[in-house]
Amino acid sequence: MATLLASILPAACSTSAPALLLRAFPRLRLRRPLASPPRMSSSSAAASPAPADAAGGERPTAAPFGSWRSPITADVVSGASKRLGDIALAGDGRLLWIEGRPEEKGRMVIVKEDDKPVDIIPQEFAARTLAQEYGGGAFAVQDNVVVFSNYKDQRLYKQSIGTGSLPVPLTPDYGAPDVSYADGVFDPHSSRYITVMEDRRTSSLNPTTTIVSVNLSNEPKVLISGNDFYASPRIDPTKKRMAWIEWGHPNMPWDKSELWVGYFSESGDLTERVCVAGSNPMLVESPAEPKWSPKGELFFVTDRGSGFWNIYKWVEHTNEVVPMYTLDAEFTRPLWVFGINSYDFLGKSNHIVFTYRQLGKSYLGVLDCDSGSVSLLDIPFSNLSNVVTGNDYFYIEGASGSIPTSIAKVTLDENKTKVISFSIVWSSSPDVMQYRSFFSTPEFIEFPTSSPGQKAYAYFYPPLNPMFEGLPDEKSPLLVKTHGGPTAETRGVLDLSVQYWTSRGWAFLDVNYGGSTGYGREYRERLLKKWGIVDVDDCCSCARFLVENGKVDEQRLCITGRSAGGYTTLASLAFRDTFKAGASLYGIGDITLLRAETHKFESRYMDNLVGSEGAYYERSPINFVNKFTCPVILFQGLDDKVVPPDQARKIYKALKESGLPVALVEYEGEQHGFRKAENIKFTLEQQMVFFTRTVGKFEVADDITPIKIENFD
């Protein structure tokens, strides 16, 4: 298979990440090390980066920020980036992955690694589950057999790989896609498939979630029930027992969850059960990612004590939990989707390949569980997520400031302590490097918040285009992005939707406000009872920090966000006067209405984030339309069940009646997040031209037909 990065020779593995990239891309000129993003603190100098030389060695043309011509068009952005879903290894050691294709209206396809990647499932199928709305864990593989959730009917199907056979349904046809399955595994002791099942037949707002066993001939058989949510059923390959995670309202899985182990009887039922972690009322923790070692020992990640998700092991005969590797770092991510795989055992050995996040950067290592020794590995990714392993190699999802989301194959030496080869086998944007001279590298920022002595974090992307530079004495406009969740983390990686802005002369700021993950429980819990306050303050503080450091134009500060980030955007516009215009993508305007209408998984989420009934009213932007003072554009999918379309429509109607410039774009067939290439393109272009027309003071170089802005056109 053609790769983006050539395999690295053993001698190269001791070099730095920039050296690795320079060897793979000889013409790539690195401005900053990729493995360690630059940091800007409150004492940083205010000087702007010098513009790169234009093609042919000519000086860049001076032109207003925002008006620069760029080859990174909205067509390029919408068509270039494929989504990456789950990954797994087939029986022959080859990689399987799910990729979402914008050109196929977001269809999620299972693909197998080969000399040329091969689609596994037929054209009329798509591997995507709607369990908990966000899905994940949509397929599993054993030898050459794959079981997957089909998007259209949500049934489980079984298919042999490479035989030309068609998918065979495993679960009943209930007449409507009201039963979903996720996070399944093959039972090594029996010919059955064990999976999380969400049943919405009785109630779509309050479905029943269980863990069930599935075979070819019968209805799914319930193994575990009674709690609100279940995840990660994992079976010990050496004994007849299973571990799983469960939690109940009002908690989210990162607030408080429990890890259980149950023992199978001869009939396949679970009889004796023991709670391994999470039941002690004096110890708040959220265990996740249970895994059985080849020896039959149970490992998992939890945040007991320190507040950081670290790796632990269960000692069965004493029912004790012991730490395996402790660090003020996060070894997993919040369970928004099923199928997270932040660590794994190397083949049949007792070595764990792990990833963790610490102060805005990912690290990769190998833990020898027998000796306790740890070896950190050097590869060109600064952001890492899921990993699957073979005997002396593994595949890992990663990215960096100049490498888009990719999957790399990494081979280790015989001691499993050093990398001897690294090659990228899949890329979300395989043609992206032709634009590398236009890439703005993210700068990791620590900035002071409104609370004395407290800091928060962000990634700042300065405007960059080798053909242009700003006018003398002009500061660039700034677009602030507020991530969704809100219990989530933005990461400083190559994203063409960011480079679309920076290559046109905009500065871009991606904020990890208080409440974000990646910085431990204490940081995560800054948002408890203060959603709409801490996140808003931090986004405003960071924008002002850049203004005070001479980086951006105070009169051209704009803000955008999706979902919960859309709420932070609307709240910033309603309750602060920092920004001059905003864009909300399927954002929340009425958190009281959201609590009543949203799906079960998040139906009690706001209780911890908001608090009292009075706070629900006081922090809903829809109730304070009179406080909005600047233009707003809204984008909404009409099939969205997480944030129903009424949210956007209510804000639009109220702002229109108040006389403010406002526009609303609605998309048929889109859910919570836009997947169709044409809609991704249209959203990006209309945000750009909306901000340009209302606050920009420049003309865009692109030929974009603007939509009508009420109270403006």
Please say whether the beta carbons of 492 and 522 come within 8 A: no
The sheet with strand 298-302 has its strands ordered as 288-292, 298-302, 310-315, 320-325
CB atoms closer than 10 angstroms to residue 417: 16
DSSP-assigned states of every residue in 664-678: EEEETT-BSB--SHH
Could you give the 3-state DSSP secondary structure of residue 555?
strand
DSSP-assigned states of every residue in 340-406: --SEEE-TTSSEEEEEEEETTEEEEEEEETTT--EEEE--S-SEEEEEEE-SSEEEEEEE-SSS-SE
Please list, in sequence order, all residues whose beta carbon lies within 8 angstroms of the beta carbon of residue 559, skipping any fewer than 6 positions away: 479, 480, 481, 482, 539, 543, 569, 572, 573, 579, 581, 582, 583
Could you give the 3-state DSSP secondary structure of residue 324?
strand
Please give the Cα distance from 368 to 350 (Å, whole number).
6
Please say whether the beta carbons of 568 and 487 come within 8 A: no
Please say whether the beta carbons of 269 and 223 come within 8 A: yes
Run of H or E including 480: strand 476-482
Q: In order of start, what are the domains of the chain with their CATH numbers? A: 346-430 (no CATH), 442-695 (3.40.50.1820)
Q: Which pair of structure tokens corresponds to residue 563?
A: 């979902």
Reply yes or no: is the peptide bond before residue 117 cis, omega within 30 of 0. Answer: no
Q: What are the two backbone dihedrals, phi and then psi, of residue 658, each rounded to the nearest 5 degrees?
A: -80, -10
Q: Which of 98, 221, 220, 217 is nearest to 150 (CA)?
A: 98
Please say whether the beta carbons of 365 and 376 come within 8 A: yes
Run of H or E including 606: helix 605-610
Alpha helices in 406-490 (DSSP H): none
Could you give the 3-state DSSP secondary structure of residue 609?
helix
Residue with tokens 């490498």: 403
Could you give the 3-state DSSP secondary structure of residue 176?
coil
Instruction: Specify the pLDDT at position 311.
Output: 98
Please say whether the beta carbons of 620 and 570 come within 8 A: no
The sheet with strand 156-160 has its strands ordered as 139-142, 145-149, 156-160, 168-169
Could you give the 3-state DSSP secondary structure of residue 315?
strand
Look up residue 192 and give its amino acid. Answer: R
Q: Which pair of structure tokens corresponds to residue 556?
A: 């051209």
Residue with tokens 């070692």: 293
Please give the Cα distance from 536 to 617 (Å, whole number).
16
Q: Where are the beta strands (DSSP E) in 494-551?
A: 507-512
Q: Which pair of structure tokens corresponds to residue 288?
A: 């996740």
| pLDDT block averages, 10 residues each, the chain of length 713 | 33 34 29 40 43 63 96 87 91 94 90 93 96 95 95 96 89 93 94 95 93 85 96 94 97 97 93 94 95 96 96 95 97 96 94 97 96 96 96 95 94 94 93 93 96 96 97 96 95 94 98 97 97 97 97 97 95 97 94 88 93 94 93 94 86 93 94 86 95 91 94 93
Please give the Cα distance from 90 to 142 (Å, whole number).
6
Residue 139 gets which letter from DSSP?
A: E
Q: Which pair of structure tokens corresponds to residue 455?
A: 């800091």
Q: Which of 87, 116, 89 is nearest to 99 (CA)?
A: 87
